[in-house]
Structure 1
Amino acid sequence: MKITAVKTYLMQVGSRPTTTSASQGGAAQDGAGRDSAGLGADADFRGSRNWLFVKIFTDEGITGVGECSGWPRVIETAVKDYASILVGEEAGDIDRLWHRLYVASMGHGILGTVGGGALTGIEMALWDIKGKALGQPVWNLLGGRFRDRIRVYGHAKTPERARDLMARGYTGVKVGFTGAVDIDCVAAVREAVGPDVDVMVDAHGPSWMTPQDAIIVGRAMEPLDLLFYEDPVAPESLDALARVRDAVDIPLAAGERVSTIWGIRPYIERDLVDVIQPDTGRAGGITQMRKMAAMAEGHFITMAPHSGSLGPVAEFAALHVMATIPNALMLERVEFDWPGRYEVVEPVLKVVDGHLPVPTAPGLGVDIVEEEVARYPSRRNVADMPPEDGWAYETGTVSENVYFQTRLKRRAKLRRTDG
């Protein structure tokens, strides 16, 4: 079965520049459930992103679908460049083709997000083709299932939102921040959900905390019984992560910004984290994620894939991976970010009792609705600096455009309520 063509489908999700989200078929929502309808689009564009889907066509009429994340507008160009190598190749030789593409791009430097995202979408689509050709779900081609449903967690920044997730059956809640961590907010969410719900904190930047500030915040959160403390410091310095690891008595999680087994390797081999979080759209593909899981298993580290910016196709792929590995923790789910999420693919996954069912149809078990994707053409992919009145940066410093900052007002333990 030969590959005959590779096609990309790029779309804009959520609020867009020069428009309001109300004109796009509904109000966009962030992880805390805040509606962005009616806000100036350029100011609110940080709530928007792109999704990039890939389809691979074969001479037997079987097609496969995949998804790429990281920097979708740029990744689309990479996928089209890779297509010149793929056409005419045997679609079933998944790992060989992955390595051929990887080697072909090495002359341009380390892959990073763009290369990893391109390889991911292509490899995902090839697995979809193989599953359809053999009449088997992808998980059955990977060794079979440990489980037939995958536990998921949602996002909440308020007690009300956390209680809403609990009412929907969720038993895991993540409180995410960009910039300053609001410890009072985390405490309020923990109190709202009680001891039987797992609470996590994502502390990513920019602006990123310094290692010492990350330690101060982590120590202050130790009484809150967190499942993990995610991305406390910038990913460029693993030594900084090691400092936090040694000083804070909370499990650490990281890894969403790296691709391939070589990118995740130091996190595992140095035992820097308790949870690895490869992004299902840019980790390098389904095979790479399973290899990452195997490496982590040898160090008693679990996996909880990142999906904070992903579309619905990659979510299906994550379920196949999570079903087949022994050290699956849970899957991040952004369920209420944009109403169109449930219009651009079929079928639609639904959370039941805090879990998503593992698909049983041949291949990945999902396809895109091309006419719906076409309704939302991509206009922009990068978000500039946040509003000056936000909490991502120290007051009055947004225009400085710095990557990391020391947190001030430590006497209030970095809480927003310090005035």
Structure 2
Amino acid sequence: MKIQEIRCHLMQAGAPPQTGWTGTGKSALATSRNWLFVTVRADNGLVGTGEGSGWPRAVAAAVQDLAPLLVGEDARATERLWQRMRVACMGHGQTGVVGMGAINAIDMALWDLKAQALGVPLYELLGGATRSKVPFYVHAATPEAALAAVQAGAQGIKVGGIAKVVERAHAVRAAIGPDIDLMCDLHGPPWLAPADAVAIGRELEPLKLLFLEEPVAPDDLRGWRLVRDKVALPLAGGERLATLQDMQPFLAEGLLDVVQPDGGRFGGITQIRKLAGMAEALSVTVAPHSGSLGPVAEVGMVHLLSAIPNALVLERMDPDWEGRTQVMDSGLRVEPGFLSAGSGPGLDLRLREDFIAAHPSQRNVGLATGGWNAGTDHESVYLQARRPRARIGRDLENP
């Protein structure tokens, strides 16, 4: 089964109606969400499909660069071709999310091809199913949205952002009660200083979160160590990292309880399943990031989580942009709070290329709003200490 052609399908996707951050501002997804799908055609007529993120416009260029190295190669040799692509990226420096996003898209498509050729669902090639359905959680910007999501079957709720996040998290917990998992994501903009992350984390401890996500920047290992030492909550992170080597210090130092590889930019099925094995050895669970991703990566992660023993939960934008359901035909089964992989071969999906072509990429960068200290949005700084300090937790006048 030889690779005959590799094609990119880049599109502008609409914004989800809400994210965890829209309680106090606007997510970058509101104006700059692109989806990149990649198809790999083999000489036997089969077509595999994958998805790549990590700056989709740039990833598309990287896919086109890598394609000539793969055409004519045996599509079944997923590990060899993964290594070939990784080596090809070396001349550009250390591999980041753009390089791994390209590898991710091609690798996922190759796994899809291989499973189709064998006539089995992809999860069968990953060891077979350990569970029949995968739980998912959704974002909520308000207590009312959280309660509506729970009533629709969501298995967990995530709130996010920095401004007034403690008040929102406590209000959401009061609305949904103790039997639904609650998560809180503190990533910027801007990133928190470690002392501020600790102060907010301590205010959130009574909520018994499933996890506290990205309390400090992924390049601030000192900050991660401080939060780990001072906050009694499970910690989650990893969505902005690209390689096993990037993840290694977080796992080796015990800084994560939940690892969150991005389903579109962490090197595809080949590398994410290796990460899952590393995590399993350390009793760390896996909850892939998929907040900005399209439906192909979601299907890939459902197959992966169906097979690995240490799956925790999958992130899902629900509701999402209405066009999401028109991107492809899929055997993915959706029921309240759960996703199940289709029973057809491979990923069991087919792109609707006409719909994708009708939504060409217009813009692929943007800035979120509402996270910086009052009056400082124009500074757009990467890290910012929170002020006034006395307002960092619940309102002192209305605790």
CA contact (8 A) 2:139 2:159 kept: yes
Hey, what does 2:142 align to over in structure 1? 158
- After the TM superposition, which residues 287-326 of structure 1 pair with which residues of structure 2 at under 5 Å, given as runs? 287-326=270-309
What is the alpha-carbon distance in structure 1 between the residues aligned to residue 326 and residue 336 of structure 2?
A: 23
What is the alpha-carbon distance in structure 2 between the residues aligned to residue 350 and residue 166 of structure 1?
A: 19
Does the alignment pair 1:185 with 2:158? Answer: no
Per-residue CA distance 1:272-329 (angstroms, 9 max, x = gap): 0100000010010102111101101111110000001000000000011101111100
What is the alpha-carbon distance in structure 2 between the residues aligned to residue 266 and residue 232 of structure 1?
A: 16
| Cα 1:247/1:45, change in 2 over 3 Å | closer
| Cα 1:43/1:176, change in 2 over 3 Å | closer
Does the alignment pair 1:51 with 2:30? Answer: no
Q: Name the SS of the counterpart of 2:334 in structure 1.
A: coil
Hey, what does 1:19 align to over in structure 2? none
CA contact (8 A) 1:150 1:355 kept: yes
Q: Name the SS of the counterpart of 2:10 in structure 1.
A: strand
Does the alignment pair 1:130 with 2:118? Answer: no
- After the TM superposition, which residues 155-234 of structure 1 pair with which residues of structure 2 at under 5 Å, given as runs? 155-177=139-161, 179-234=162-217
The one-letter amino acid paired with 2:371 is A
TM-score for the superposition, normalised by structure 2 = 0.95
What is the alpha-carbon distance in structure 2 between the residues aligned to residue 70 and residue 236 of structure 1?
A: 17
Does the alignment pair 1:30 with 2:13? Answer: no
The partner residue of 2:373 within 391, 394, 419 is 394
What is the alpha-carbon distance in structure 2 between the residues aligned to residue 332 and residue 44 of structure 1?
A: 17
What is the alpha-carbon distance in structure 2 between the residues aligned to residue 33 and residue 165 of structure 1?
A: 16
| Cα 1:409/1:7, change in 2 over 3 Å | same
Cα shift at 1:370: 0.5
Does the alignment pair 1:329 with 2:312? Answer: yes
Hey, what does 2:61 align to over in structure 1? 77
What is the alpha-carbon distance in structure 2 between the residues aligned to residue 44 and residue 357 of structure 1?
A: 29
Cα shift at 1:391: 2.3
Per-residue CA distance 1:126-171 (angstroms, 9 max, x = gap): 0010011010111101111110100100111211111111111112
CA contact (8 A) 2:82 2:270 kept: no
Q: Name the SS of the counterpart of 1:139 in structure 2.
A: helix
Does the alignment pair 1:271 with 2:254? Answer: yes
Does the alignment pair 1:412 with 2:391? Answer: yes
Q: Name the SS of the counterpart of 1:8 in structure 2.
A: strand
What is the alpha-carbon distance in structure 1 between the residues aligned to residue 291 and residue 397 of structure 2?
A: 29
Per-residue CA distance 1:172-207 (angstroms, 9 max, x = gap): 111121x43521110010011101000000010111
Q: Name the SS of the counterpart of 1:105 in structure 2.
A: helix
Per-residue CA distance 1:24-78 (angstroms, 9 max, x = gap): xxxx51225979xxxxxx9987443100000001111011000001100000000
Hey, what does 2:84 align to over in structure 1? 100
Cα shift at 1:409: 2.1
Deviates more, 1:346-355 or 1:217-226: 346-355
Deviates more, 1:223-232 or 1:340-349: 340-349
User: Which consecutive residues of structure 1, in runs of 5 or more, have no partner in the other structure?
Assistant: 16-27, 36-41
Hey, what does 2:101 align to over in structure 1? 117
Cα shift at 1:402: 1.1
The one-letter amino acid paired with 1:30 is Q
What is the alpha-carbon distance in structure 2 between the residues aligned to residue 105 and residue 83 of structure 1?
A: 12
Q: Name the SS of the counterpart of 2:346 in structure 1.
A: coil
CA contact (8 A) 1:183 1:221 kept: yes
CA contact (8 A) 1:171 1:196 kept: no
CA contact (8 A) 1:228 1:253 kept: yes
C-alpha RMSD of matched pairs (Å): 2.0
The structure with higher relative contact order (CA 8 Å, sep 6+) is 2
Cα shift at 1:359: 2.1
Q: Name the SS of the counterpart of 1:376 in structure 2.
A: coil
Q: Name the SS of the counterpart of 2:35 in structure 1.
A: strand
Aligned length: 396
| Cα 1:344/1:249, change in 2 over 3 Å | same
Q: Name the SS of the counterpart of 2:50 in structure 1.
A: strand
Hey, what does 2:346 align to over in structure 1? 363
Cα shift at 1:337: 2.5
Hey, what does 2:360 align to over in structure 1? 377
What is the alpha-carbon distance in structure 1 between the residues aligned to residue 361 and residue 255 of structure 2?
A: 37
Deviates more, 1:395-404 or 1:200-209: 395-404
Hey, what does 2:221 align to over in structure 1? 238
| Cα 1:208/1:407, change in 2 over 3 Å | same
Hey, what does 1:88 align to over in structure 2? 72
The partner residue of 2:244 within 245, 255, 261 is 261
Hey, what does 2:6 align to over in structure 1? 6
What is the alpha-carbon distance in structure 2 between the residues aligned to residue 259 and residue 134 of structure 1?
A: 30
Q: Name the SS of the counterpart of 1:291 in structure 2.
A: helix
CA contact (8 A) 2:333 2:341 kept: no
CA contact (8 A) 1:230 1:252 kept: yes
Cα shift at 1:415: 5.0
Per-residue CA distance 1:383-410 (angstroms, 9 max, x = gap): 04x4xxx421111112222111110122
Per-residue CA distance 1:326-363 (angstroms, 9 max, x = gap): 11000001122210000011127453241111222100
| Cα 1:45/1:58, change in 2 over 3 Å | closer
CA contact (8 A) 1:209 1:406 kept: yes
Q: Name the SS of the counterpart of 2:62 in structure 1.
A: helix
Identity, % of aligned positions: 48
Q: Name the SS of the counterpart of 1:160 in structure 2.
A: helix
| Cα 1:416/1:119, change in 2 over 3 Å | farther
What is the alpha-carbon distance in structure 1 between the residues aligned to residue 285 and residue 380 of structure 2?
A: 35
